[in-house]
Amino acid sequence: MELRALQYFVTVAEELHFGRAAQRLHVVQPAVSQQIARLERDLGVRLLERTSRRVRLTPAGARVLAASREALAAAARVRVVAGEPAAVLRIGVASCATRRLDRAVQRLREGERPAEPELVDLPVAARIDAVRDGELDLALVRGALTSETVAVVRAWSEPLHAVLAPHHPAAGSSALGLHDLDPDGLRLPARDTDPPLHDAILALLPVPPPRPPAGDMLNVLFEVSQDPGRWTLLPAEQLAGSRSERLLQVPLDPPVTIDTHVVTSLATPAPCRTAYVSAFAD
C-alpha cells in the first residue's frame, strides 16, 4: 500500500464526494477511484459505500480513516526529521505582533503536520479575499464575520478595553462602564478599515457614536492621545501589540469580549482547519 492511496482515501472521506476530492488533490476523478479501489483490494475490505447520490464510510472505512491519518502524520514527521523543509503556511494578520501570535507560530512548527508560518500583513477585506482566492492558507479576523465564500471558525475571545489619554478625567479608574464615558468623546476608525471589528463594537454600544468615524486606527489613537475628552475601544491583545506611553487601556466593567476567527478556504481539510484553530486557541 502507498502513502498516496492513503492520502486519496482520507481526502475522499473528508469530502464524501469523489469529484471534490479530485479537485483538492489536483488530479482527475478516475485517478482517485483507481487509488481507492487498489487500497480496498490491498486491505481486503470495502472502505466506502457509493451510490449515485452519496458516498459514505463503512465501519471498516471509519477505522481505516483514523489509522490513515496517523500514518500520514508519521510520514510527515519522518520527512521533517530527514531534513525536508516544512510546508510554508501563509497567514494573513494585522500589523501588530502579540504573544498569542508568537505562541501559535511555535505550535504550528511543532505540530503533527509541521509547517513554517509566513505572516502576511493585509487589510481585513484583502485578507478574506486572499484566502478565498488561495493566496493565503488562513487569516485571522476579529469581530462579526459570516461568509458563504470562506470557512469561518471562532478561535478565541478577548476582552474589549477602553483606551484613553493619561490626562483623561477617567484615567485613574481601575475599570469603567460604557455609561461612565462621554459618548461625544468616542472615536472609531472608518468602517472600511475593518468592517467586522467595527460592526462588533457598534453592536455593543448603547447608542451609536455621535461623531462620524474617520481615518484608520493609527489616526484614532493619535487623536485620543492628544485630546483628554476622547476615547476609543480596542481588543486588549491588539492594543498590547502597539503600546504607547501616551495611551492607557482600562478594562470594562461589566466585561465585554470580542471574538477572533480563523478564516480558511472552503476546500481546506477539516483536520487542517482544526489544527489551525487549536494553534491560536487559549
Please, where in the chain does CATH 1.10.10.10 lie?
3-81
Has domain 3-81 been given CATH number 3.90.1150.10?
A: no
Count of beta carbons in the 10 Å neighbourhood of residue 225: 20
Has domain 85-282 been given CATH number 3.30.980.10?
A: no
d(CA 32, CA 155): 33
Grid cell of 165 as nine digits: 489619554
What's the pLDDT score for residue 73?
76
Q: What is the pTM of this model?
A: 0.68
HSE-CB of 148 using CA atoms within 13 angstroms: 0
List the pLDDT tens digit at each of the 282 positions of the chain.
Answer: 788 899 899 989 988 888 888 887 777 888 899 999 999 999 999 999 988 788 999 999 999 998 998 888 777 667 656 655 667 899 999 866 678 888 999 998 887 777 888 888 888 999 999 898 888 899 999 998 998 889 999 999 999 999 999 999 999 899 999 988 998 999 999 998 899 999 999 998 888 787 777 788 888 989 999 999 999 999 988 876 556 678 899 999 999 999 999 999 888 888 888 999 999 998
d(CA 240, CA 237): 5
Comparing CA positions, the residue from 63, 64, 75, 67 lying closest to residue 4 is 75
Long-range CB contacts (< 8 A, 24+ apart) of 102-105? 104/279, 104/280
Query: What CA–CA distances, in Å, run from 27 to 24, 30, 69?
Result: 8, 8, 20
What's the pLDDT score for residue 233?
94
Grid cell of 80 as nine digits: 521533517
Please, where in the chain does CATH 3.40.190.290 lie?
85-282
- Residue indicated by cell numbers 489616526: 219
Q: What is the 3-state secondary structure (H, E, C) of the chain?
A: CCHHHHHHHHHHHHHCCHHHHHHHHCCCHHHHHHHHHHHHHHHCCCCEEECCCCEEECHHHHHHHHHHHHHHHHHHHHHHHCCCCCEEEEEEECCCCCHHHHHHHHHHHHCCCCEEEEEEECCHHHHHHHHHCCCCCEEEEECCCCCCCEEEEEEEEEEEEEEECCCCCCCCCCCECHHHCCHHHECCCCHHHCHHHHHHHHHHCCCCCCCCCCCCHHHHHHHHHHCCCCEEEEEHHHHHCCCCCCCEEEEECCCCEEEEEEEEECCCCHHHHHHHHHHHCC
